[in-house]
Structure formats: C-alpha cells, structure tokens
Structure 1
Amino acid sequence: MYRFGTTAPTASKGPPGALFGVLKAPTVFTRPAAGDRILTTSPGGEAAYVAGARWIAPASVQFDEALSRAFDGDPGRARLIGRGEVAKAQMVLRLEVRTFEATYGGDPKAAPEVVVQVRGVLSRTGDRALVGDQVFEAKVRAADNRVGAIVAAFDQANAKVIGDIVGWINAAGAGLPAE
C-alpha cells in the first residue's frame, strides 16, 4: 500500500497581515481516481488500475489531508476552516480534481507521466462574488515504470498543484480585511 502527500508544497510568501478564513467545500474527484486504486490511462482511452497496488486511503481523502497540511505549514494569511469550526470564513473554496492518473504513451513498458489537474473556484462569503476560477496542473514523469517511482511522481505532482492553490488563495485574499 502506498501514500502520497509526503512531499511538502513550496511555501508561498503571502503579504503580512491578519489571517483570513477559507471554508473548503467538499472536494470533487473523478470517480475512477477517487478510490484507493492507482489509475493509469493509455492511448486510445484505455484505463486500468496498477495490479496489486493500492493507496493506504482513498485518493480523495489523501488529497484533502495533504491540502490541510499545506495550509497549516504555509506562512501566508489564508487558513482553512473546517465545517463545524467556530470561525468566520471570508471565502469559500471549491476544488474539482479533474485528472489524477499515470498516463502511458505509446510504449506500455516506458515510465508513465503522472498528471494532476484541479479546477479551483474561489468566492467571497459576504456577497458570493466570484474571486477566481483557475485550473492548476502538474505533470511529472516517473523515474521508472515501477510502482514506487510512479507513487513518487504522484507525490511531486500533487505537491506542485497544492502549492499553487495555496499561493493563489493567499494572493486572492491580499486585499481582504481581517475579521
């Protein structure tokens, strides 16, 4: 069993100031990639799972845990607020993980490229105005066509996308007053 989310995203350098809260709506994951199996795709639209390899928890759960750790470790102003927490959120974040797979090119024995693509939608809570809508993507070629190398590529691609999301939110909230 394998895990991702161990590579720390690059910390953003947000502007100094008071913290602002971001309520994260439940993350939407594509169904084939959301579970605990490692998804691969090949030319022609063929999809398969890596035989005998599983994530230690569903990919959707690990993604959310990695995102929470990234916000906790980031020096920027944005802080995630979980459902039920007694804190006021100034923004709402919706994430849709569109692609989370290892993609093989023409040679099925060659190392695959891991692709992580996430659409983020950020809106203000007060007036529900759209603050931003952006697609984040990372592609990382696995060092080898072995499960360990493929998992390491997932970890790197995921860390890149999550780091970009955290930086984007910190930049979007730069003008927000503290509440």
Structure 2
Amino acid sequence: MIARKLVRPLAVASVAALLSGCISLLPESDPVQLYRFEGRLESAGAAAPASSSFGVLLPDSGFVQASSGDRILTINGPEAAYIADARWVAPAETLFQEAVERAFDANPGPARLVARGGLQQSDLTLRLDVRRFEANYDNGLRSPPEILVRVQASLVARADRAVLGDRAFEVRVRADDNRVSEIVEAFDEATAGVLGQLVDWTNRTAPPGG
C-alpha cells in the first residue's frame, strides 16, 4: 500500500513549501522520487496535413489548486491526501500545458497553435480549465485507484469574441496496481485520452468563414 500524507492546513503547507526549497541542506532527509506525465498521443500515421489551417492561441490553462503543484493528489471519500515521497518533476499545470502543445504539434489537423505573442495570427482562442486531476481510491486504500482527468474547454473567435464551442472532456483510467509507477502511467494514459478528444474537437471547430 502506498504511504500517504494527509493534506495539511494552508499555514502548515506554506511552511512545508519553504522547507522544500532547503532540501539540499538536509542530507538526512529521505530522497523524493520524481515522475512526469506526457500525455503523448499515438502517431497519426500517414494522414496528410490539412490543406487549410487556422491559428489557435493557447493561454495558460486554469488548474484546480489542490492538483496544480508538484504533489500527486489522491482522494479517498471525503479525505484528500498527497502520495508521500513522490513528486511531479515540475508543477502539474506546467506539465499539462506542455502536453497540450505537443498534442497539437503532432496532429496533422487544421488547428495550429500559434506563439503566445502571435495574437494577430490566431483565428481562435482555446481556453482550458483543468477541474479534476487526481487519483481516486474509490475501492479503498489497498486497491488500485482510478485516475480522473476532467477539462472544461471553450473556443472563442478572435474577431468578435463569439464562443464557437464549449465542452467538457473527462477520462477515467484504473491503475494496474497500487504502486506509484503504475499510478503515474494511468495519469499519463488519462491525460492522453483527454488530449486526443480535445485536439479532435478543436480540429472540427472551424473559425468563422473557414
């Protein structure tokens, strides 16, 4: 069973955050294992690039606060906790943003992300709000958890700010085992599932006049 630490009150969490910056000064501390998720989609194969593309601006995604940092959030009924001695290699919101960018870059569809400074080259703005990003111990702490990733997305036309689409994407993946490595793999699979749906939906939402 995975060792887990209860989520502390905000004041205690703030102190812990300060101490984490000094970990190199505490050689007696147990090492923390770092993990990452990429949400990498399978190759599109020989699909030809779209003949007509449109630019999509991607601002920084919103992210539920409890999951946005580098700790791996778990839920057990009314209790929330973080997996002990395990961290994401970077804040989850950063890893997720990078995964979204890779997903669009790898897809041959018409939607093309533009640089953040390229507002004039964009036809649409894609706004994302990650509302759930957690491991749910719905069958008890001794059983593999179910990973839940839920994202609310909206596409807004740059010309008149009209909302062209608004949709929620949700994927649940059961970890193969109650071990951190398998839980991380399930996070990766769930993220890839959400991104696959998101990219496909964006490709099918053409800008006005497109």
> TM (normalized to structure 1)?
0.91
Q: Which residue of 2 aligns with 1:152?
A: 185
Stretch of structure 1 that moved more, 113-122 or 86-95: 86-95
**Residues 54 and 207 of structure 2 are in contact (CA less than 8 Å); yes or no, is this contact kept in structure 1?**
no
Q: Which residue of 2 aligns with 1:51?
A: 84
Q: Which residue of 2 aligns with 1:25?
A: 59
Q: What amino acid sits opposite 1:47 in the alignment?
A: A
**Residues 14 and 77 of structure 1 are in contact (CA less than 8 Å); yes or no, is this contact kept in structure 2?**
no
Aligned counterparts of 2:119 and 2:155: Cα–Cα separation in 1: 21
**Structure 1 residue 82 displacement after superposition:** 2.4
Q: Which residue of 1 aligns with 2:31?
A: none
Q: Which residue of 2 aligns with 1:8?
A: 41
Alignment of 1:33-112 (within 5 A): 33-43=67-77, 45-85=78-118, 88-112=121-145
Q: What amino acid sits opposite 1:64 in the alignment?
A: Q
- The answer to whether structure 1 residue 139 and structure 2 residue 172 are counterparts is yes
Aligned counterparts of 1:91 and 1:73: Cα–Cα separation in 2: 19
Aligned counterparts of 1:174 and 1:127: Cα–Cα separation in 2: 11
Across the aligned residues of Structure 1 and Structure 2, the Cα RMSD in angstroms comes to 2.0
Unaligned runs of 5+ in 1: none
Structure 1 residues 86, 175: CA separation in 2 closer, same or farther (over 3 Å shift)?
closer
Secondary structure, aligned partner of 2:204: helix
Q: Which residue of 2 aligns with 1:168?
A: 201
Aligned counterparts of 2:87 and 2:111: Cα–Cα separation in 1: 33
> TM (normalized to structure 2)?
0.78
**Residues 11 and 163 of structure 1 are in contact (CA less than 8 Å); yes or no, is this contact kept in structure 2?**
no
Q: Which residue of 1 aligns with 2:8?
A: none
Which structure has more relative contact order (CA 8 Å, sep 6+)? It is 1
Largest Rg, 1 or 2: 2
Among all aligned residue pairs of Structure 1 and Structure 2, give the percentage whose two residues are the same amino acid: 46
Unaligned runs of 5+ in 2: 1-33
Q: Deviations over 1:18-37 (max 9, x none)?
A: 21100112200001100000
Secondary structure, aligned partner of 1:172: coil
Secondary structure, aligned partner of 2:116: coil
Secondary structure, aligned partner of 1:145: coil
Secondary structure, aligned partner of 1:65: helix
Q: What amino acid sits opposite 1:33 in the alignment?
A: S
